[in-house]
Structure 1
């Protein structure tokens, strides 16, 4: 186990259900509001089945991470990298060698957290708080997130466990909108897209699954890492069905041609939905209030992963977690403020998704090779020392 004061075994563990809640919360955030438009632009009505290809590819990424992390249970990727050096008197060399990995992961997750924060800030300004400066909204979100992230990671995961049921309340709102505004004809025709359009749709929706790489950190806290693949598979299936539901309800209500002109189709669907007798008015406000919980859990998971990388790399004692969190918060805020418009923000989101895929594949390849070399060396050493 990594030799530091941030040993996950002393801080509690994550149950199988909590594994589901943290992975679901990481994947299903603000992206579900924009994904229907992005994938429909690429694949039109064939988006209804293209999304399942993306889900399968993400499952492969998650399987690779899980297979790697099970090789060194109770360690996160940074602790494992530093333990490769082996001897305690080589800690300085270990930190030098692992610095690129720590910077890549911490930078990626802080970048992704800033994108999610800015994206949801834009939603709030557009639909709920048009008179409030977006900088004030983002400052409030980041400040509250920093308070939560100052706690150990298992506390953050327990918060996702508590908040996840509220997210499912949004599904009846989408169903109500589909029943009022939808038409089955809008869902047709199927299988009209060529391979290029299918590939574009897969790529576009694949980027909306951003967040699976946090397993490099959180798997160190699993109670039963050897049984994690079943939970990961179920969670990816649930996330894919959730995305599929958002796509189908949006296409069914507006048609693929109209979705081209809507930035947040699920939100627009809820906006035109009404209940008899005006029992609930301004449903979009209720929808956003509920969805803010989902987005907040995504933010704290990404931000918490960033802080954990720093805590593991240095390493700091647990009592320093709050200091690390609030030192990173200004960088978080500056990154969230940086995109000058929605187009630049969309580009950032695409680049972050691509970066996550590249980093995941690169890290898995490197550390599997390192693990294989170490195991081979152990085998040779055992063969040398054993009596003939």
Structure 2
């Protein structure tokens, strides 16, 4: 039946289309799955988590075959079908189990929803107030019934999915494929555990049994569910591979919401794109909102069914009374989650270990039908769409005005006492509130950076507080105060100047420079050899006159090897490392007193091999094959011997540089991180003794540069 309202046609038969079923289920799958699944898979199955996703998808399709069969034999609503098949008493017992499951799932979703909003969008706001507003919004959304909510979700679907795809695409640039290997390392128990987690995220697929009463074309119900599984499964797989490639499996296993953390890796340095950041949070805002609505709606319909069986009848505004009572119950349970971690852990265990087998095993998700008084839904739907769509543009700021805030672009860390004193009072600078979202550079004094335990405490505190952007660059110096004295002679703030110093460095990719997020990841991964720029003031002399206006420059690099400081290297060694790791667009080097050459579009391939050396001993060789185009910038070489001579001299230069670095136990090829993909034998050999790796290897360059004719 159609009712014309103000010239628009809205269906009032409480029916939804197959396309709307697809979108409803997709919201339910993606909401909790994208937030929690990556961490759980990394913790259980590691890099083999991608196979757990595949196993979970295939299991869900087999489960849908069963649901399709059950649907053919259903002549009534599924709750009534349960009573017919199991008897009245057993049917009511099952109803009670489902009711408890729905309420606990709604409470857990509300807790997750509120926590995410507090961590990412709003600050200095009461948890209780945020939770109350979320539940009031849920109550308003349910007033329109499933048909009204389906319209809203259908309208907003691509407004949410397209930004999600763009975010994943943008993150691909930062992915390190070597982090995907080695695979086939998890045992059968770990793979089964990971597959079970995926199945939990897909357990909501069984609601198609109850959607039958609400779908106009009931034959499309299971087909829509299959499409939702394929769609969400593709998102899960892509997201998991990207997160593994960004953070590494060890760091990913320790993160709370890695998909949210990923957003800081694809923003402009310092987090200036706050509107985009909030826009990305809207993905989880809507998916969790849909999940919360579904759980309360199912439990509310079950309550209505019980009232009906007891001889009661709710009509008009009274039909919303069960939902109001249930939302108050959800509020109370969610507050208990917030105030009692032990209670939260107990309920989480109940949902994962008991609730999921219960729901999948029966298989049931209650969805009651019933005649409802028709009412005008146009205004309700449009208001809800406008309200939710407006949330896309939340800025994530608190109530403080801009003039009452301070926006530092540089964070100086001198020592442990200085850091603790600054950080414990970091919320206010004078009478202004500090906002670190515009921070560009974290500058750490070298004497502090070399204290492993104290740096670990600092990184742990910064990571937990989440105040400082992950993509803020990390630099080091001998004295922060000495650099600060030059700020008055610069055209910009010192933090902006240091950022420009990195981003405007000729020929070096920005990915070569460590960020705070990279240091967080290496606390868990222990794979990378990073090079932290060391900044100092180079004082030049012109005759007897000293130039005191010299600007800060990068004079060396502090090596950060597998999560700890490993000493300084000169800029030539660091640039050779950047070139070897394909972070240099061009590479200029001096091969003789007056011979300078430039290599463009070079590609360096690293391979680990073994050969028999002097005395019959086996040598472990890391071979770097360099190809590309080169030209002579200054100096002359005869045409007949140019290619062989230049390639040989370049080999000698890079071999000498690599050998000198190995004397300090520094591998400029960063080959240790590639062992899982390139050499599983070496990977197992050095997995538990990484400190011996640089002592045992030799590095050999093989140059195959085509030199341009003069």
Structure 1, unmatched stretches of 5+, are: 1-8, 86-92, 366-388
Shift in Å at residue 210 of structure 1?
A: 4.3
Residue of 89, 100, 104 corresponding to 1:107: 100
Shift in Å at residue 335 of structure 1?
A: 1.6
Shift in Å at residue 140 of structure 1?
A: 0.9
Aligned to 1:69: 71
Aligned to 2:288: 295
On the 8 A contact 1:176/1:273 being kept in 2, the answer is yes
Structure with greater Cα Rg: 2
Cα separation, 1, equivalents of 2:344 and 2:211? 27
Cα shift readout 1:10-52 (whole Å, capped 9, x = no counterpart): 8432211011011112222133112111101111111122211
Relative to structure 1, the CA distance from residue 121 to residue 287 in structure 2 (aligned partners, 3 Å threshold; closer, same or farther) is same
Aligned to 2:216: 223
SS at match of 2:58: helix
Shift in Å at residue 309 of structure 1?
A: 1.5
Relative to structure 1, the CA distance from residue 349 to residue 62 in structure 2 (aligned partners, 3 Å threshold; closer, same or farther) is farther
1:254 matches 2:247 = yes
Cα shift readout 1:337-366 (whole Å, capped 9, x = no counterpart): 22245675455344324444333354349x
Shift in Å at residue 173 of structure 1?
A: 1.2
Question: Normalising by structure 1, what TM-score?
Answer: 0.80
Aligned to 1:174: 168
Relative to structure 1, the CA distance from residue 276 to residue 129 in structure 2 (aligned partners, 3 Å threshold; closer, same or farther) is closer
SS at match of 2:51: helix
Cα separation, 2, equivalents of 1:350 and 1:57? 22
More helix by share: 1
Residue of 315, 321, 329 corresponding to 2:319: 321
Aligned to 1:378: none
On the 8 A contact 1:28/1:209 being kept in 2, the answer is no
Cα separation, 2, equivalents of 1:19 and 1:282? 31
Shift in Å at residue 282 of structure 1?
A: 6.3
Aligned to 1:137: 130
On the 8 A contact 1:150/1:325 being kept in 2, the answer is no
Mean alpha-carbon deviation: is it higher for 27-36 or for 346-355? Answer: 346-355
Cα shift readout 1:48-88 (whole Å, capped 9, x = no counterpart): 22211012223333433343233225x33223235669xxx
Cα separation, 2, equivalents of 1:220 and 1:356? 24
On the 8 A contact 2:47/2:181 being kept in 1, the answer is yes
SS at match of 2:216: coil
Aligned to 2:383: none
On the 8 A contact 1:33/1:264 being kept in 2, the answer is yes
Cα separation, 2, equivalents of 1:41 and 1:15? 39
Relative to structure 1, the CA distance from residue 114 to residue 238 in structure 2 (aligned partners, 3 Å threshold; closer, same or farther) is same
Cα shift readout 1:84-125 (whole Å, capped 9, x = no counterpart): 69xxxxxxx95x553222222222112111111101211122
On the 8 A contact 1:167/1:294 being kept in 2, the answer is no
User: Within 5 A, what are the aligned runs for 1:9-24?
Assistant: 11-24=13-26
Cα separation, 2, equivalents of 1:250 and 1:308? 39
Cα shift readout 1:113-155 (whole Å, capped 9, x = no counterpart): 1111101211122222231121211111111101211332222
User: Within 5 A, what are the aligned runs for 1:314-353?
Assistant: 314-315=307-308, 316-319=313-316, 320-339=318-337, 340=339, 345=344, 348-353=347-352
Shift in Å at residue 336 of structure 1?
A: 1.5
On the 8 A contact 2:264/2:271 being kept in 1, the answer is no
> Which runs of at least 4 in structure 1 moved beyond 4 Å after TM superposition?
82-85, 275-279, 341-344
On the 8 A contact 2:203/2:360 being kept in 1, the answer is no
On the 8 A contact 1:20/1:235 being kept in 2, the answer is yes
Structure 2, unmatched stretches of 5+, are: 1-10, 365-710
Cα separation, 1, equivalents of 2:80 and 2:208? 14
1:363 matches 2:367 = no
Cα separation, 2, equivalents of 1:364 and 1:35? 22
Cα separation, 1, equivalents of 2:215 and 2:17? 6
Relative to structure 1, the CA distance from residue 35 to residue 361 in structure 2 (aligned partners, 3 Å threshold; closer, same or farther) is closer
1:304 matches 2:306 = no
Cα separation, 2, equivalents of 1:291 and 1:186? 27
More strand by share: 2
Residue of 220, 237, 250 corresponding to 2:230: 237
On the 8 A contact 1:271/1:283 being kept in 2, the answer is no
User: Within 5 A, what are the aligned runs for 1:191-230?
Assistant: 191-230=184-223
Residue of 270, 275, 278 corresponding to 1:285: 278
Relative to structure 1, the CA distance from residue 362 to residue 267 in structure 2 (aligned partners, 3 Å threshold; closer, same or farther) is closer
On the 8 A contact 2:114/2:131 being kept in 1, the answer is yes
User: Within 5 A, what are the aligned runs for 1:75-90?
Assistant: 75-82=76-83
Cα shift readout 1:241-280 (whole Å, capped 9, x = no counterpart): 1111221111111111221232111111112222499873
On the 8 A contact 1:47/1:201 being kept in 2, the answer is yes
Aligned to 1:56: 58
Relative to structure 1, the CA distance from residue 44 to residue 278 in structure 2 (aligned partners, 3 Å threshold; closer, same or farther) is closer
Cα separation, 1, equivalents of 2:139 and 2:20? 21
Aligned to 1:98: 91
Residue of 270, 277, 287 corresponding to 2:263: 270
Please give the root-mean-square deviation of Cα atoms over the aligned residues, in Å: 2.8
Higher relative contact order (CA 8 A, sep 6+): 1
Question: Normalising by structure 2, what TM-score?
Answer: 0.46
Cα separation, 2, equivalents of 1:76 and 1:350? 31
Cα separation, 2, equivalents of 1:175 and 1:347? 38
